[in-house]
Amino acid sequence: MKEGQPKAIYLKDYKVPPFLIEETNLHVDIHDDVTTVTTTLKVVKNSEAASEDQVHLVLDGSKDLATQSVAIDGRALTDNEYRVDDDELSVFEVPEQFELTTTIQIKPQDNTALEGLYKSGDMYCTQCEAEGFRNITWYLDRPDVMSKYTTTVVADKASYPILLSNGNDIDRGEEGDRHWVTWQDPFMKPAYLFALVAGDLQHIEDEFVTMSGRKVKLQIFTEPHNIDKVDYAMLSLKNSMKWDEEVYGREYDLDVFMIVAVESFNMGAMENKGLNIFNTSCVLAHPETTTDAAYQRVESVVGHEYFHNWSGNRVTCRDWFQLSLKEGFTVLRDQQFSADMGSPTVCRVNDVAVLRSAQFPEDAGPMAHAIRPDSFIEINNFYTATVYEKGAEVVGMIRTLLGPERFRVGTDLYFDRHDGQAVTTEDFVKAMEDANGVDFTQFRTWYRQAGTPVLDVTGAYDQSAKTFTLNVKQSCPATPGQDQKDPYHMPLKVGLLDEEGNDIRFPVLGLDVSSVDEASGFSAILNLTQAEQEFVFRGIESKPTPSLLRGFSAPVKLRYEYSREELRFLMSHDSDGFNRWEAGQRLALDVIQEIVGQIEAGEEVTVDEHLMAAFDANLTQALEGDKDPNLDKAMIAHMLVLPATSYLIEMSEVANVDAIHQAREAVRTAIAKKLSGLLLSVYKLNQKDVPYQAQAQQIAERALKNVALGYLMQPEDTEMVNLCVYQYESATNMTDRSAALRALVGSAAEAAQEPKEKALNDFYNRFQHEALVIDQWFAIQATCSLPGTLERVKALMDHDAFDIKVPNRMRGLVAQFAMNNIVNFHEASGGGYEFLADRVIELNGINPQMAARILSPLTRWRKYDEERQALMKEQLQRILEVEGISPDVYEIVTKSL
Ligand code: B3K
Ligand code: ZN
């Protein structure tokens, strides 16, 4: 960090770039001790910029660039013709257009921040988004500067036989023990999409023929020991390419598409043009080492990065405030893709669960920001659930308001109009309006306002007039810097159920409806635009039960006083699959909140019969599958999962962590005891001896079986422990083996204590050479809710296999503990907080981006009791006092204190 405090930058200060870089020529000469980068840029003054900004050329860089020389049009500059400050190179009084050549030296082997060029194990790789390219060379490192890249990579032939960069390889050669390859990318791109890889890699190859008949070579590279785990990613890639042609009319543009798997990576994957770089966790898959959930993640991330080729690369962002332009839209695209590949309802349930447990708390916390923020200190802190997941919901609402066909007309116009440009979220909304002749003026509120809106809904039936009136009030809580909120324009999808549970086909005349949906029942999409609105449904013969916010049509908290009977009714009759799940979640939430009250009042805990009956019905349905054809096994498995502790906390004013945990456990135990017979039958029925496939039916059966196992292990029962041990030992796939291990580790039963240590040892020995499985081994222990886990986590820090510098390993132990072990992290002594603060301080000097990311649980202190608040703030204060605090960590800590 430079002297003084890090400064915020503002969207309102945006100016077009003073210079443009038409061509970029890189020569990267890799040696084990030092890497030399020689860069030649064809620079011109930007005719749209102010001339007073064009006297000196100022390039972005970092203090780690050891500048060897600077030349203009082949003439080396003298010391008084340029100046290097820590992270800026100023070249004085430059001509209209010129060729600038710089030579710098870097040490990628020492780059632990994993931004720019760095080493993951034995291979070299890059990560340039958002501002990593400036760690490789002096450059105008901003997304609105797009250039044509030619890159030559030179390295030792034996150690780095594979040399990759973006585009097509146009030349190669060798000299002595070194070799080189030149790559050229015909598409103009911003620096953040640059990539380079050098390593001893193997690959698999396939081909995709595009809709216009062009052949594209597909390659996936890994280190040799992982080459048996990339077939599923290849299949997912081909499915993605086909899907984007069919659904969005988007064809791939280069002759080759490459994916490289790397072990040390700060996030999931990166969409570099033609050369995606993936965290191994998002590309490798094999039945013995990969769970079903991880298989599904591979499919969705492969899709996501591929879809960026259009939504992000061909049409990119003007500046980083526009990040949601590419991320929100691309998340929506990957969600649609996963839905089309599997079950749409299950996907929607999962997506909403993520939104609620990750984004809602963010929107309610000190870092709350709009999907298009207006300022930031460190852009890496804004790769958030808000920009991604809420961003996807916002684009999804445009789709819901327009309907799929008109949305497609809108995206076609957007891609055609802006191909090759760096644009804004405003350009996106404008294209949607222009293509469809609609007015989204009010809708734009979603882009500038933070906070989760609340809908307070009441319903009144008038028997004599045969009307049902919905009164909807919308509000949005204040967030930092935004006290007053304007009403949003949002789609509220509703249906009305008659007494038999069938959808009423009500007349929509006179209602403000943007469309009617008859796909599986009958719904109307109401246009909400005002702070308070009334919708009168006419011709309703008897008192209906409203099904509100079907499909979760807007990212809001909806409040409606449903009775428990009504929720049970919706659970078994709603034609909207999402709302059937939602009714179950509401019922469970209501019951758990009631028990929290009982615990706080020192009363005896009783679990309401409505919830027990609902679980009974779901389990019965799981056994007699044909009873209700709309409720498949995958959905039942989801309906048997209680709301996550993080969501329960989010839904409380001041969260009593211990009472919430106890209440949730009490419900689990009550279900397990009362319904043990049904649970065991469901378990046995879904225990199949078939070769593993990552296919919907099998995934659903494993999910159901393992949810049942979780409940069966809840009471302390020796027989069930034996069953679990048997599953652990006989499992032929990672889904079953890890579920059994997790259940054993989480069991307080006396009989489980010895088997759990035995299984943990076995698991470690069996998979010690599989890094991703060892990450799971750490995570299973870190997320155990039994007392004593913090001590175990601390001890695991000293394990030979633990390395805080490798993000996957760090996340497996530290982040899993802090984020997914709420009861132990918030242990009353504050030991969990101190542990996390220690890790943040340690990581601050190693990998600031990771340090800032794991910090977020401490920033949520407002949700907890006074003692915990004080302890959490104390740790934040301690972090703030660290010498050399990175801008990443500084921003999060100062905003949250
Ligand atoms: N665009 C990248 C994320 C880059 C994060 C930089 N801190 C992956 C993705 O969203 O597809
Ligand atoms: Zn993305």
Between the CA of 129 and the centroid of ligand 1 the distance, in Å, is 6
pLDDT of res. 5: 85
Nearest CA to ligand 1 atom 1: 270
Q: Which has the closest alpha carbon to 709: 680, 731, 688?
A: 680
Is the shortest distance between the CB of 131 and ligand 1 below 6 Å?
no
126 close to ligand 1 (CB < 6 Angstrom): no
Does residue 305 have its Cβ closer than 6 Å to ligand 1?
yes
Distance 144 CA to ligand 1 centre (A): 17
pLDDT > 70 fraction of the chain, expressed in percent and rounded? 99
Nearest of 897, 894, 890, 877 to residue 6 by alpha carbon: 890
If DSSP codes are grouped into helix, strand and coil, which group holds residue 748?
coil
pLDDT of residue 1: 43
288, 733 Cβ separation under 8 angstroms = yes
Pocket test for ligand 1, best of 192, 194, 327, 387 (most atoms within 8 A of CB): 327
User: For ligand 1, is residue 334 a contact (CB within 6 Å)?
Assistant: no
CA distance 745 to 753: 8
Ligand 1 centre distance from Cα of residue 392 (Å): 15
Which DSSP string corresponds to 27-41? EEEE-SS-EEEEEEE
Cis peptide before 740 (omega within 30 of 0): no
Whether 165 and 304 have beta carbons less than 8 Å apart is answered as no
What count of other Cβ atoms lies within 10 Å of the Cβ of residue 171?
Answer: 11
Strands 66-72 and 557-559: unpaired
Q: Which is nearest to 536 in space by CA: 504, 570, 509? A: 509
Mean pLDDT of 414-429: 99
Q: Which atom of ligand 1 is nearest to the CA of 305?
A: 11
Position 628 pLDDT exceeds 80: no
Which helix H or strand E contains 739, and what residues bound it? Answer: helix 734-745
Helices (H) and strands (E) in the chain, counts: 31, 32
What is the whole-number distance in angstroms between the Cα of residue 326 and the centre of ligand 1?
10
From the CB of 827, is ligand 1 less than 6 Å away? Answer: no
DSSP secondary structure, 796-819, as one string: HTTSTT--TTSHHHHIIIIIHHHH
Using the predicted structure, report yes or no on whether residue 885 has a pLDDT greater than 70: yes
Q: Give catalytic status of residue 52 as yes or no.
A: no
Question: Around 478, how many Cα atoms within 13 Å sit in the side-chain half-sphere?
Answer: 5
The Cβ of residue 877 has, within 10 Å, a number of other Cβ atoms equal to 12
For 520-523, which contacts have Cβ atoms below 8 Å and span 24 or more sequence positions? 520/575, 520/576, 520/577, 520/630, 521/495, 521/575, 521/576, 522/495, 522/575, 523/493, 523/494, 523/495, 523/547, 523/550, 523/576
**Which of 737, 606, 723, 725 shows the shortest CA–CA distance to 676?**
723
- Residues, beta carbon < 5 Å, ion ligand 2: 327, 330
- Ligand 1 close to Cβ of residue 363 (< 6 A): no
Regarding the beta carbon of 409 and ligand 1, being less than 6 Å apart is answered no
Q: Is the pLDDT of residue 629 over 80?
A: no
Q: What is the mean pLDDT of the chain?
A: 97
Which numbered ligand comes closest to the C-alpha of 311? 2
311: DSSP letter: B
Local structure of 146: helix, strand or coil: strand
Mean pLDDT throughout 753-768? 98
The answer to whether residues 583 and 545 touch, using CB atoms and an 8 Å cutoff, is: no
Tokens linked to 42: 């064809």
pLDDT digit string (tens) for 553-611?
Answer: 999 999 999 999 999 999 999 999 999 999 999 999 999 999 999 999 999 999 999 99
The 3-class secondary structure across 392-453, one letter per residue, is HHHHHHHHHHHCHHHHHHHHHHHHHHHCCCEECHHHHHHHHHHHHCCCCCHHHHHHHCCCCC
Whether the pLDDT of residue 741 is over 70: the answer is: yes
Quote the ligand 1 centre to 140 CA distance (angstroms): 20
Nearest CA to ligand 1 atom 9: 270
Sheet (strand 523-528) strand order:
513-517, 523-528, 490-497, 545-547
How far lies 591's CA from each of 353, 566, 569, 594, 598, in Å? 19, 14, 16, 5, 11
What gap in Å lies between CA 371 and CA 324, rounded to an integer?
Answer: 6
Q: Answer yes or no: are the C-beta atoms of 300 and 306 closer than 8 Å.
A: no
Q: How many other C-beta atoms are found inside a 10 Å radius of the C-beta of residue 677?
A: 9
pLDDT surpassing 90 at residue 433: yes
Q: Give the residue-averaged pLDDT of 433-443.
A: 98
Kindly give the distance from the C-alpha atom of residue 787 to the centroid of ligand 1, in angstroms, as a whole number.
Answer: 36
Evaluate: CB of 267 within 6 angstroms of ligand 1: yes
CB contact at 8 A, 595 and 666: yes
Closest CA to 334 of 352, 353, 359, 351: 351
State how far the Cα of 98 lies from the Cα of 90, in Å rounded to an integer: 15
Main-chain phi, psi angles of 829, to 5 degrees: -70, -20
Q: Which atom of ligand 1 is nearest to the CA of 268?
A: 8
Structure tokens that stand for 811 in this block: 């996340």
Residues 6+ apart with CB under 8 A from 298: 232, 233, 236, 282, 283, 284, 285, 290
Q: How far is CA 724 from CA 209, 283, 407, 636, 746, in A?
A: 47, 30, 49, 22, 12
Confidence of residue 2 (pLDDT cuts 50, 70, 90): very low
From ligand 1's centre to the CA of 269, what distance in Å?
7
Cβ neighbour number for residue 509 with a 10 Å cutoff: 8
Using the 8-state DSSP alphabet, how is residue 544 labeled?
-
Cα distances (angstroms) measured from residue 476 to each of 449, 488, 490, 558: 9, 9, 13, 12
Residue 134 in contact with ligand 1 by CB distance below 6 A: no
Q: What is the distance, to the nearest Å, from the Cα of residue 488 to the centroid of all Cα atoms in its chain? A: 25
pLDDT at 3 over 60: no
Q: How far apart are CA 814 and CA 858, in angstroms?
A: 13
Tell me the two tokens of residue 168.
């097509």
SS3 call for 257:
strand
Contact 783, 825 (CB under 8 A): no
Bridge-partner residues for 39, per DSSP?
26, 102
Ligand 1 in reach of 130 Cβ (< 6 A): yes
The β-bridge partners of 402 are: none
626: confidence class by pLDDT, cuts 50, 70, 90: low
| Model confidence pLDDT, tens digit, residues 186-222 | 999 999 999 999 999 999 999 999 999 999 999 999 9
Q: Which residue is associated with the tokens 């004593």?
A: 788
Q: Write the burial class of residue 518 (CB in 10 Å: 0-12 exposed, 13-18 middle, 19+ buried).
A: exposed
Calpha distance 373→368 (Å, rounded): 9
The pair of three-digit structure tokens given for residue 146, joined into one six-digit string: 């797009």
pLDDT on residue 631: 82
DSSP string, 358-379: IIHHHHTSTT---SS-SEES-G
Catalytic residue among 129, 263, 305, 362, which? 305
CA angle 883, 886, 890 (to 5 degrees): 90
Angle between helices 609-623 and 564-573 (to 10 degrees): 10
Bridging pattern class, strands 467-475 and 454-462: antiparallel
Name the closest ligand to CA 383.
1
Best CA proximity match to 560, nearest among 486, 476, 471: 471
